Chains A and B, each alone.
Chain A
């Protein structure tokens, strides 16, 4: 576990990448960390590429710039691989996590020769099996927690249960599906 972990999220407007970044900050805060979760706004519209960031640290965070040399990158939508340089500045002792049905050899050509670790997950499969609807941010959140090792799975699941119970106080029926999505995502990262 690093003293400071910096994560960059790539998604498309409407997929919840910003929400996932803020949720990750939330969970890390609950385990006693100093956090910063923030979006980078362009012209906001459904489907446009968006970037969001997390800093998770043992010490108070003062810097207010974007993250240029992240430890981890999360790609919520693999169609971005064609147009966005997702590995830009990514540290080689870090990792990239991509939501895709593709295999590693199919993804490689898009990664600009990145030498660090590459993790893949089919978030759609997880969503359809557990939620019946495609909300990729939920499995991606669990997957990046596993990849970045910022906390233990059990600690994460406990914190998420508390936070989802609060979030879905008026819709308790969706709690189980979301918890299942998180649990399954932990297993599906490859």
Chain B
């Protein structure tokens, strides 16, 4: 039986963590993810979980402690945002290359500067090539559901990689919305116990974690790591199928909303997708064939699958909530455009930067994008040379 509740995105993932009852959580607070370790340490104090909570002195330390705990054989997690994630940079790669299935709740927030606390994807997008799986949420429900699926993906023997579960700072992390929770028992059965194959505290197997590798071996280790990410694709789909059986909610690499017969499509990640759906409903009632491709899984990147879903479109707007600072647009734009080229998709493509530092996106902003997409399909580019959505004139 589903439990009907209302809670914020941070409360929702904290509830999922409580149901999972992981072994170790080192964490250092940073807005807007601070509530997550705060809720978990309350649960620890109240004896509601068996988790060992480690207050550390920095995010570099929280990730280092997570690596130690995970290597020892513990089911481990942490949470962070923005500069906190940036401070972990060096050790993110250590977690991934040592094939440690750590879960990290990332509450997406802008990186400095100017200093800003609001939603942006520049933090996790900056870490997109660090070897972590990345799954994004539109709302509190998806943040909860993705958290419950995280360890099943990360710990799978064909994967063994750390995983970021991302949601938009404040927009979902601090908004109270309706949610359907799953009861404890089916969650526990679904998540299961963590039984690592190799770990430091295993008495009958001596091992070393994170040693130097000479060039004769290093490249093979990296190729093996890449295979984990390749394998993650099938595992993500398999886990989603099992999750559907206990929740009734369907997940894949991405969600297609009114995309099947769409002539004009927007591709986006995160909370803005709800706003896009409302805009599409309005446009559809006026006869405009508008659709959405909502990216859920960014790492591994399902480029081929996304390109295939967009192949009938006349014009596509790829929306990035992160500036690439490369004079070429954002990361989703760059990677998806390349995938569409390989798949010989003939649609016109525009990459739009939106929502930086929490800049609000309204239904009307999205309708404007679709209007311009229709013109673009007719050869009239009204987007300009380097499109930013909702930018005030300088």
Contact = CB atoms under 8 A, between A and B. Distances in A.
Contacts of B168: 64
Give the one of A34, A36, A66 with max B CB within 10 A.
A36
A63 B174 CA distance: 15
B6 A38 contact: no
B176 A38 contact: yes
A64 B275 contact: yes
Given A65-B363, A68-B362, A29 B6 contact: yes
Contacts of B117: 41
Given A29-B178, A62-B278, A64-B274, A35 B360 contact: no
B174 to A, nearest CB: 6
B360 A66 contact: yes
Interface string A18-30: 0000100110010
Contacts of A25: 6, 176
A63 B361 CA distance: 10
A39 interface: yes
Interface string B173-203: 0111110000000000000000000000000
Contacts of A61: 177-178, 274
A65 B360 contact: yes
B172 A60 contact: no
A136 interface: no
A37 interface: yes
Given A62-B275, A63-B278, A64-B172, A41 B177 contact: no
Given A35-B6, A41-B117, A65 B362 contact: yes
A68 B275 CA distance: 14
Chain A, interface residues (CB within 8 Å), range: 10 to 19
B177 to A, nearest CB: 5
A64 B178 CA distance: 13
B171 A35 contact: no
Contact of B274 (A26, A34, A62, A66): A62
Interface in B249-277: 271-272, 274-275, 277
B6 A26 contact: yes
B176 A64 contact: no
B21 interface: no
A24 to B, nearest CB: 10
Given A29-B6, A65-B360, A65-B363, A38 B175 contact: yes
Given A62-B274, A65-B363, A68-B362, A37 B178 contact: no
A63 B176 contact: no
B170 A39 contact: yes
A66 B6 CA distance: 19
Interface string B155-172: 000000000000010111
Interface string B227-248: 0000000000000000000000
Contacts of A36: 175-177
B118 A64 contact: no
B177 A35 contact: yes
Given A25-B6, A26-B6, A68-B362, A37 B176 contact: yes
Interface in B351-376: 360-363
Contacts of A29: 6, 178
Nearest to A32: B4
Contacts of B271: 64
A36 B9 CA distance: 12
Nearest to A39: B174
A62 B362 CA distance: 12
A37 B7 CA distance: 9
Give the one of A29, A65, A66 with max B CB within 10 A.
A65
A65 B176 contact: no
A35 B5 CA distance: 11
B177 A65 contact: no
A63 B6 contact: no
Contacts of B172: 64
A26 B176 contact: yes
A147 B136 CA distance: 39
A37 B175 CA distance: 6
Contacts of A60: 178
Interface in A26-66: 26, 29, 34-39, 41, 60-66
Contacts of A35: 6, 176-178
Contact of B275 (A34, A38, A39, A65): A65
Give the top 7 A-B pairs by smallest Cβ distance, nearest first: A62-B274, A38-B175, A29-B6, A64-B271, A37-B176, A65-B362, A63-B278
Interface of B: 6, 117-118, 139, 168, 170-172, 174-178, 271-272, 274-275, 277-278, 360-363
13 contacts: A25-B176, A35-B6, A35-B177, A35-B178, A36-B177, A37-B175, A38-B176, A41-B170, A61-B178, A61-B274, A63-B274, A64-B171, A68-B362
Given A25-B176, A41-B174, 8 more contacts: A25-B6, A29-B6, A38-B176, A39-B170, A61-B177, A64-B272, A65-B363, A66-B362
